[in-house]
Amino acid sequence: MIRLKQLLREISKSDIQQCLDKIQRKEFRLIGAGDNGRVYEIDGEDKVFKITKEQDEYAVAAQIVDRYEEFTCFIPVYYVNEKKMLYIMSKADRLNVNDTINIEQFMKLYKQYARDMGGEVSIFDYLDAEGGRENNQEVISFIRALQTDIGKMDNLTGDLALDLDFKTDNI
């Protein structure tokens, strides 16, 4: 049985082509930029595309493309182009104020833990060590689900858990 949630997330080949045509015609606008690239909103669509500079970030997009039901902690990715290091994904809503505050608090405590431990620790290491005691349970549940999703990925270079760009603008 197909669930409504799945139908709403699916995108047809013609929808992808329509997005690619709009990108080709430059029918988009910049909505954000960071260390790893730029994100553009496609005119008249509920999709965005990102051009990244990071091979590892692109590798994650390539792993999760069209696998929305399996990787529930990631924004759905519908198309990837390795040559251009570009991918098309759903447009995400901003986090609400409470979630933003809770995640920022988690990150503050994690960064202090990482400094105390001398650096090379992941958010999962922190959570395993002591992160569950002082943090919001919704944040902890999300991070555990994210850890499960990352565990499902194959053949990624580097240590993704250490390279996560886990901040409120990316969630």
Distance CA 110, CA 117 (A): 10
Question: Higher-confidence residue: 25 or 163?
Answer: 25
Per-residue pLDDT, averaged over 47-60, amounts to 90
The amino acid occupying position 55 is Q
Residues 106/132, Cβ–Cβ less than 8 Å: no
Q: What is the mean pLDDT of the chain?
A: 84
| Per-residue pLDDT, 93 | 86
Residues 124/114, Cβ–Cβ less than 8 Å: no
Percent of the chain with pLDDT over 90: 40
Listed residue (104, 106, 126) closest to 115, CA to CA? 126
| Per-residue pLDDT, 56 | 82
pLDDT above 90 for 34: no
Whole-number Cα distances in Å, 60 to 14, 48, 165: 24, 17, 12
Per-residue pLDDT, averaged over 70-79, amounts to 91
Per-residue pLDDT, averaged over 2-28, amounts to 79
Q: Which of 8-12, 22-26, 51-55, 135-139 has the lowest mean pLDDT?
A: 8-12
Burial 82-103 (b: 16+ CB within 10 A, else e): eeebbbbbbeeeeeeeebeebb
